[in-house]
């Protein structure tokens, strides 16, 4: 594939390839769009089958970040980076400092953070070389673990979906099935339990399931049985692609709302099927934005309370998405994309005018 032919090269502003001979670091940074602000997005380490695959992945992920931050109302653009190779070989100080220098060379157009296979320690090494790293530990002035914020946003999002589906966001007596009890799922179960929901939980790790049984109204279900369970809300918080050709007809819920990324295995096809079935789907990148919303606070001087206040906006953002989807009879993912694009256009234009020194209104 020629580089400029990549179908994922969808209006990307800049793609940077970095190589450091000494450490063997091969990294790609993709900046999709900076209309609203610096391009924020994590750095993942992955042993890709080919360089093409790595390029496609980073382009797709950075575009996703543009939409996610725009929809969440943040003044951030979208970017992402990938380090190609094995984390056992590359997860060392020298390689990550080399990566830090690459990030620094962009002068703040791209801000990196933790992602799949990168750790707080690795980000501290990056921080030795550049200020353009977010989500560091509170000891270093960062906002720390984003998961509690993602979980709270997911809880708020489930309430918002309940309001649309049943005319009330009271979860008392509603059955919510939570798939995956990791960093996000475990906090979500606690919030749901306090709200009086009946919760079905599953995880491939049995100790995680046992741990959750201490909360009120929680019962366990086997990992594969979750798709057939009698439930009002399905909350995927483990893996992507769990709504697919094999599972979609098994789901008896009225709402799908969870933290996992890429829940629909085929965004267009399954989005349309859910719309036809009358199952309300809370788009993944809208409902799971709590983490990035929290990190955004670092750009202004971090304040935990302000982060939670902002995460609460996920409720209203989802209402807008659901209303738009109903008005235009389009899948909720499409409605989310439209709302994100509208904000980039509107606010991006204002920022551009400010940068170029043009006045918004002429003096009378
Ligand atoms: P995690 O790795 O801590 O937890 C995932 C859990 O899912 C683990 O306990 C794992 O055992 C379980 N699991 C894996 N396969 C399963 C299966 N087939 N059935 C049931 N359980 C299974 O991850 P996390 O940080 O809690 O994130 C959960 C999801 O939310 C991921 O898709 C992640 O991309 C997404 N997300 C997380 C954040 C965040 O702030 N952590 C932000 C945005 C999106």
Question: Which pair of tokens denotes residue 138?
Answer: 């509170």
Question: Which pair of tokens denotes residue 168?
Answer: 């009330």
Nearest alpha carbon, ligand 1 atom 1 = 182
pLDDT of residue 228: 98
Pick from 243, 186, 173: which is nearest to 214 by CA?
186
- Whether 7 shows a pLDDT value over 80: the answer reads no
Mean pLDDT of 84-94: 97
**Among the atoms of ligand 1, which is closest to the Cα of residue 183?**
26
Ligand 1 centre distance from Cα of residue 287 (Å): 14
pLDDT of residue 6: 74
**Among the atoms of ligand 1, which is closest to the Cα of residue 238?**
7
pLDDT in tens, 257-282: 999 999 999 999 999 999 999 999 99
pLDDT of residue 361: 44
**Among the atoms of ligand 1, which is closest to the Cα of residue 184?**
26
Pick from 277, 283, 293, 297: which is nearest to 334 by CA?
283
Q: How far is CA 203 from the centre of its chain?
A: 21
Question: Is 305 marked active-site?
Answer: no
Classify the C-alpha dihedral 63-240-251-193 as positive or negative: negative
Nearest alpha carbon, ligand 1 atom 33 = 260
pLDDT in tens, 238-256: 999 999 999 999 999 999 9
Nearest alpha carbon, ligand 1 atom 3 = 182
pLDDT of residue 360: 43
pLDDT in tens, 102-158: 999 999 999 999 999 999 999 999 999 999 999 999 999 899 999 999 999 999 999
Of 4-8, 66-70, 267-271, 351-355, least confident by mean pLDDT is 351-355
Nearest alpha carbon, ligand 1 atom 2 = 182
3-class DSSP assignment, residue 199: strand
Question: H helices of the chain, where?
Answer: 51-71, 87-90, 93-104, 120-127, 147-166, 185-194, 206-212, 267-277, 284-287, 290-296, 304-311, 314-328, 332-355
- Whether 359 shows a pLDDT value over 70: the answer reads no
Nearest alpha carbon, ligand 1 atom 14 = 238
Ligand 1 centre distance from Cα of residue 239 (Å): 6
- What separation in angstroms does the CA of 132 have from each of 22, 60, 86, 103? 23, 22, 24, 7
pLDDT of residue 1: 59
- Whether 55 shows a pLDDT value over 80: the answer reads yes
Domains of the chain and any CATH numbers:
3-63+77-140 (3.40.50.10860), 147-342 (3.40.50.720)
Q: How far apart, in whole angstroms, are the C-alpha atoms of residue 110 and residue 123? A: 14
Q: How far apart, in whole angstroms, are the C-alpha atoms of residue 67 and residue 289? A: 11
**Among the atoms of ligand 1, which is closest to the Cα of residue 258?**
30
pLDDT of residue 4: 77
Nearest alpha carbon, ligand 1 atom 23 = 182
pLDDT of residue 354: 57
Residues with CB under 6 Å of ligand 1 are: 146-147, 150, 179-185, 202-205, 208, 223, 237-239, 259-261, 288, 291
Active-site residue (options: 80, 159, 174, 198): 80
Pick from 156, 68, 153: which is nearest to 113 by CA?
68
Ligand 1 centre distance from Cα of residue 122 (Å): 21
Ligand 1 centre distance from Cα of residue 183 (Å): 7
pLDDT in tens, 196-222: 999 999 999 999 999 999 999 999 999
- Whether 363 shows a pLDDT value over 80: the answer reads no
**Among the atoms of ligand 1, which is closest to the Cα of residue 236?**
29
As a whole number, the mean pLDDT across the chain is 94
Confidence of residue 70 (pLDDT cuts 50, 70, 90): very high
337 backbone dihedrals φ, ψ, rounded to 5°: -60, -45
Ligand 1 centre distance from Cα of residue 332 (Å): 22
Ligand 1 centre distance from Cα of residue 179 (Å): 8
Confidence of residue 349 (pLDDT cuts 50, 70, 90): confident
pLDDT of residue 5: 76
Q: How far apart, in whole angstroms, are the C-alpha atoms of residue 257 and residue 282? A: 5
């Amino acid at each position: 594939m020629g580089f400029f032919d990549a179908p994922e090269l969808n209006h990307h502003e800049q793609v940077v390839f970095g190589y450091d001979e000494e450490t063997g670091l091969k990294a790609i940074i993709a900046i999709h769009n900076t209309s609203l602000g610096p391009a924020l997005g994590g750095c993942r380490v992955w042993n890709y089958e080919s360089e093409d695959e790595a390029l496609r992945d980073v382009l797709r992920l950075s575009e996703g970040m543009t939409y996610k931050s725009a929809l969440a109302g943040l003044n951030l653009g979208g970017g992402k980076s990938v380090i190609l190779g094995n984390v056992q070989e590359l997860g060392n100080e020298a390689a990550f400092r080399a990566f830090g220098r690459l990030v620094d060379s962009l002068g703040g157009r791209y801000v990196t953070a933790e992602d799949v296979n990168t750790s707080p320690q690795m980000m501290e090494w990056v921080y030795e070389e550049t200020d353009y790293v977010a989500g560091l530990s509170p000891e270093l002035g960062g906002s720390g673990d984003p998961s509690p914020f993602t979980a709270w946003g997911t809880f708020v999002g489930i309430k918002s979906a309940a309001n649309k589906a049943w005319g009330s966001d009271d979860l008392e007596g509603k059955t919510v099935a939570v798939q995956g009890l990791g960093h996000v799922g475990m906090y979500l179960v606690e919030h749901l339990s306090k709200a009086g929901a009946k919760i079905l939980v599953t995880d491939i790790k049995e100790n995680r399931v046992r741990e959750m049984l201490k909360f009120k109204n929680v019962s366990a279900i086997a990992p594969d049985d979750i798709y057939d369970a009698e439930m009002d809300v399905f909350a995927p918080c483990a893996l992507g692609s769990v709504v697919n050709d094999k599972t979609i007809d098994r789901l008896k819920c009225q709402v799908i709302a969870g933290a996992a990324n890429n829940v629909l295995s085929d965004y267009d096809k399954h989005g349309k099927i859910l719309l036809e079935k009358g199952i309300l789907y809370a788009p993944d990148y809208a409902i799971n934005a709590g983490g990035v919303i929290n990190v955004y606070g670092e750009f202004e001087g971090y304040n935990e309370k302000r982060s939670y206040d902002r995460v609460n906006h996920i409720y209203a953002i989802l209402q807008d998405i659901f209303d738009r989807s109903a008005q235009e009879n389009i899948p909720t993912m499409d409605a989310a994309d439209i709302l994100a694009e509208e904000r980039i256009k509107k606010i991006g234009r204002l920022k551009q005018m400010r940068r170029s020194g043009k006045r918004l209104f002429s003096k009378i």
